[in-house]
Amino acid sequence: MSVVTAVYEIETALEPERAAAVMAGEQSSGTFVSVARETDELKRRFAARVTDITEVPLSGQSPLPGASGDWAQARRVRVSIEFPLHNFGPSVPNLLAAVAGNLFEIRDVGALRLMDLDLPTEFAEAYPGPQFGWDGTADLVGRTSGPLLGTIVKPSIGLTAEQLGELVTELADAGIDFIKDDELQGSSPTLPLPVRVEVVMDALHRAADRNGRMPMYAFNITDDIDRLGPNHDLVRAAGGTCVMVCVNTVGLAGLQYLRARSELPIHGHRTMFGACSRSPQLGIDFQVFQKLSRLLGSDHVHTNGLSNKFYETDEQVLAAIAAVRTPLLGGYDAIPVLSSGQTAALASRTYQQVASERLLVLAGGGIHGHPDGSAAGVRAMREAWSAALAGVELAERAREVPELATALDTFGPPR
């Protein structure tokens, strides 16, 4: 019998074995009392089963609202539960109803976080996963090695079509590999997607004629599900090479809907992820999010970056990058996307700690905030990463490259 194994961390004032049994029962064949027709045979076939309980240190935080028991007696444990696959089948929406469902609301735990999922091969048969991954993306970008260096359109919103075209031209001529819309820029009344596609692709095609190479541009096509297909087709028809969706706002089923129709790489943005992950007491860990995002078709998965402007520590970021690089069900190759506060000053430390070139490194302010303009910001990032890969100190390379020297002065010394 195929099973899904879900791993949780919970805090409870009850005996952990009792709390874990409540979790397993609530999400499979049981409820808060015994009921008619809940036979031993039915439970044997359909009940979820607790397979491991391991004590871990308490978070030191107050319980979630409505928690039962005396919190002075609370313990934190890691719980593994096996769910029979035939309870829900290889369907991600129904999988989540089983392994998450009402668990975050039960009184018997005062903290609960879904930490990991181990999925059987039936999910690989149901979901093809990323269509392009590293090799396909690098080929479209025209690079034989990495990292791929990119940026986000800044200001995120408010540019006119003419200003956007000028910015894309500057970036393309400077040798950028990748440009993406900000997640805030959908198909707004002031700059609708059709206008954006026309302006950007005109600029990119002209740059390709001059330079012999066209950067990848990830158009944010996030919208209602019935618009994802037409939005993708609009980009493809114009010669675009990438689409972006906000995974948490279109939903995992929306991502799968797009993947089934897409002929382009899918840049999976994780906006809103912090709402379900920031607290150690509640929500879904990045390990789970990245597995499901890859399974349902994201070619590029945001991991955050070192010394970022958000809440995650460097240790958490490195774990996230490693998670995306780890094969899932024998494959599902996706590119870790480093972003949030990235600058040229971080290149050497990032490369040393990640130990991989197969990355997409995005710098928004770290490129557009360069005192000499966005093109200078691109050159500074390129030279910083070239030095990092060659084992050359950034300060040494900066003595030869004024744009890098200015970037290090602006964003801080090599770090």
| 137 and 122 share one domain | no
Full strand arrangement of the beta sheet holding 75-84: 49-56, 75-84, 3-12, 111-118, 282-284
| 168 and 105 share one domain | no
Q: Is 337 helix (H, G, I), strand (E, B) or coil?
A: strand
| 108 and 142 share one domain | no
Final residue of a structural domain among 100, 126, 152? 126
| 206 and 333 share one domain | yes
Domain that holds residue 208: 133-411
| 350 and 405 share one domain | yes
d(Cα 11, Cα 16) in Å, to the nearest integer? Answer: 8
pLDDT at 38: 79
| 190 and 242 share one domain | yes
Q: Is 194 helix (H, G, I), strand (E, B) or coil?
A: helix
From first CA to last CA, the distance across the chain in angstroms is 51
pLDDT at 414: 66
Q: In this structure, are residues 127 and 256 in contact, taking their beta carbons and an 8 Å threshold?
A: yes
| 66 and 152 share one domain | no
| 367 and 336 share one domain | yes
| 161 and 298 share one domain | yes
| 352 and 224 share one domain | yes
User: What's the pTM value of the predicted model, to 2 decimals?
Assistant: 0.95
Final residue of a structural domain among 110, 126, 142? 126
Q: Is 114 helix (H, G, I), strand (E, B) or coil?
A: strand
pLDDT at 44: 87
pLDDT at 366: 96
CATH code of the domain covering residue 106: 3.30.70.150
| 111 and 142 share one domain | no
Sequence-ordered list of residues with C-beta below 8 angstroms from that of 256, at least 6 positions apart, any chain: 92, 127, 296, 297
Final residue of a structural domain among 99, 126, 153? 126
The token pair at 43 is 């439970």
Q: What tens-digit pLDDT sequence spans the chain (415 residues)?
A: 799 999 999 999 999 999 999 999 999 876 656 776 778 888 889 999 999 999 999 988 899 999 999 999 999 999 999 999 999 999 999 999 999 999 999 999 999 999 999 999 999 999 999 999 999 999 999 999 989 999 999 999 999 999 999 999 999 999 999 999 999 999 999 999 999 999 999 999 999 999 999 999 999 999 999 999 999 999 999 999 999 999 999 999 999 999 999 999 999 999 999 999 999 999 999 999 999 999 999 999 999 999 998 999 999 999 999 999 999 999 999 999 999 999 999 999 999 999 999 999 999 999 999 999 999 999 999 999 999 999 999 999 999 999 999 999 999 876 6
pLDDT at 36: 67
CA 372 to chain centre: 32
The token pair at 346 is 């971080």
DSSP-H helix ranges across 2-151:
16-26, 40-46, 92-99, 122-126, 133-141
d(Cα 11, Cα 59) in Å, to the nearest integer? Answer: 8
**Model confidence over 103-141: pLDDT tens digits?**
999 999 999 999 999 999 999 999 999 999 999 999 999
d(Cα 189, Cα 333) in Å, to the nearest integer? Answer: 36
d(Cα 280, Cα 277) in Å, to the nearest integer? Answer: 7
CATH code of the domain covering residue 258: 3.20.20.110
pLDDT at 42: 85
Q: Is 324 helix (H, G, I), strand (E, B) or coil?
A: helix
Nearest Cα neighbor of 1 from 99, 84, 114 is 84
Please tell me the total count of domains within the chain: 2
| 195 and 58 share one domain | no
